[in-house]
Amino acid sequence: MKSTAKHDERMAKMTFAEVYPHYVTKVEKKDRTKKELHQVITWLTGFNEKALQKHIRDKTTFEEFFQQATLNPNAHLITGMICGYRIEEIEKPLTQQVRYLDKLVDELAKGRKMEKILRTE
């Protein structure tokens, strides 16, 4: 499925704060922890705990969130399908970055080992 300009715009304007509680619920429902979720987010973005809380408090859009992030050099290793999109085929960098995060959260919730999620193996 090819993303549309409308889809890309929606992703850019969505705030991290509105999606974050869904990430927490998703992983905790599968017996993973908020600490593990933060580890995954930190790996992808470079944000520490204080920075994550600031993004939540400030209702940062995903566009601003990823502009300020230092994307992990191994992020390109995140591949596969998420929400009907093949991640490696997404053309708009911001939409791809949001889907990277979605994919990592999904892998965490599915019980994948942390070293595999963080692409260290």
Q: Give 35-58 pLDDT, tens digit per residue.
A: 999 999 999 999 999 999 999 999
Instruction: Give whole-number Cα distances, 105 to 37, 53, 83, 111, in Å.
Output: 7, 18, 12, 10
Residues 52-103 have pLDDT tens digits of 999 999 999 999 999 999 999 999 999 999 888 899 999 999 999 999 999 9
112: left (phi over 0), alpha (psi -120 to 50) or beta: beta
Own/partner contacts of 81-90, CB < 8 Å, gap of 24 or more, are: 82/106, 84/1, 85/1, 85/3, 86/1, 89/2, 90/3
* Domain coordinates in residue numbering, the chain: 5-117
**Tokens of residue 115, six digits:** 């070293």
pTM: 0.91
* CATH domain 5-117 topology: Helicase, Ruva Protein; domain 3 (1.10.8)
What pLDDT is stored for residue 85 in this prediction?
84
What pLDDT is stored for residue 121 in this prediction?
59
